Structure 1
């Protein structure tokens, strides 16, 4: 059963990865680069700052930093200790079949995607936090995270299952930290 799932994942990866063209490569490289999303993160932080209780903004920022650190570290534990599944661009069985868009492959192991988990955690946390003012922001941020996950397949560094697992873990983490933030906000208001 597990072998069939891995084979299906590999087949889906090869199909999606090989849909790419040199015309779209610059777009997906731009999309997958975290640096270019700093303006989005700044806008989201500004919107959180403008919430009805800006006094607890620092606490929220600390929780966001902890959330990203948490998703990053758990991702690394899965990649480097628990699963150790080779990235498709490092897999010798796929040599010559993978369209690697970036100049290098990255770390040796790829299960699960840190980009997918971090972006989904940010999407869920921020989307829930700001839903009282921006009704559709959660859906827009989830779509952004889906694009982030797809970009990892497109450029050749993650299998679809890496990305899907990252989204699930990131979504759960984002919601958990959102609930934790709400808990601390309520405790802070009581004093």
Structure 2
């Protein structure tokens, strides 16, 4: 067994352990948490904080950069998923009889789009808001819960989540630099 096979085997074992910690009494909570549309109030709060901190012109630029970040992250993740083609836990015949499955998507697993995009948005938001608000690091609660929900409901391995987290942080940093470029350009046109 080569190193990659060993990592995949450990990843499956860790997934089975974490996934089977769940209980029916918590299923509803995690199903709600994993649905990105249920986070709409959170995003509206973030947009409010952006506009409050930066005003309308800069706020619109930052929201447009956020939209570009989400679009890029989503498309890049889909490219990786189609390239790697790793089965999701719920579709993996070697473990799907051992785990709790609350959703049954058919697409591939690696990397987690939920993890990548939520960490990208959070990294970006922390960087643009940290000078204006004291506790922006608390925003990290969202992607951590959001990402873990994917293990709980049976659709992502821990490695999908972890690599998605790292990828999301990098994407967030890149788009932060892009936002600085556009904000400087906007500043020059206003002077």
TM bracket, shorter-chain basis = over 0.9
Tell which deviates more after alignment, 17-26 or 47-56: 47-56
Corresponding residue number in structure 2 for 1:131: 130
Tell me if 1:106 matches 2:108: no
Corresponding residue number in structure 2 for 1:121: 120
TM-score of the aligned structures, taking structure 1 as reference length: 0.94
Say whether the 8 Å CA contact 1:110–1:162 is kept in structure 2.
yes
Corresponding residue number in structure 1 for 2:9: 7
How far apart are the structure 1 equivalents of 2:106 and 2:51?
A: 36
How far apart are the structure 2 equivalents of 1:114 and 1:168?
A: 12
Structure 2 unpaired stretches of 5+: none
Task: Measure how far apart 1:173 and its partner are.
Answer: 0.5
Aligned length: 187
Query: Aligned-residue CA RMSD in angstroms?
Result: 1.1
How far apart are the structure 1 equivalents of 2:20 and 2:55?
A: 48
Tell me if 1:20 matches 2:18: no
Corresponding residue number in structure 2 for 1:87: 88
Does the residue aligned with 2:53 lie in a helix, a strand or coil? coil
Tell which deviates more after alignment, 168-177 or 155-164: 168-177
How far apart are the structure 2 equivalents of 1:143 and 1:65?
A: 21
How far apart are the structure 1 equivalents of 2:56 and 2:183?
A: 11
Say whether the 8 Å CA contact 1:90–1:108 is kept in structure 2.
no
Corresponding residue number in structure 2 for 1:50: 52
Corresponding residue number in structure 2 for 1:78: 80
Task: Measure how far apart 1:107 and its partner are.
Answer: 2.6
Structure 1 unpaired stretches of 5+: none
Query: Deviations for 1:10-66, whole angstroms, at most 9, x for unmatched residues?
Result: 000000000000011111111111111000000100111112443122222221111
Does the residue aligned with 1:94 lie in a helix, a strand or coil? coil
How far apart are the structure 2 equivalents of 1:134 and 1:28?
A: 29
List 4+ stretches of structure 1 deviating above 4 A: none
How far apart are the structure 1 equivalents of 2:171 and 2:98?
A: 34
Task: Measure how far apart 1:96 and its partner are.
Answer: 1.1
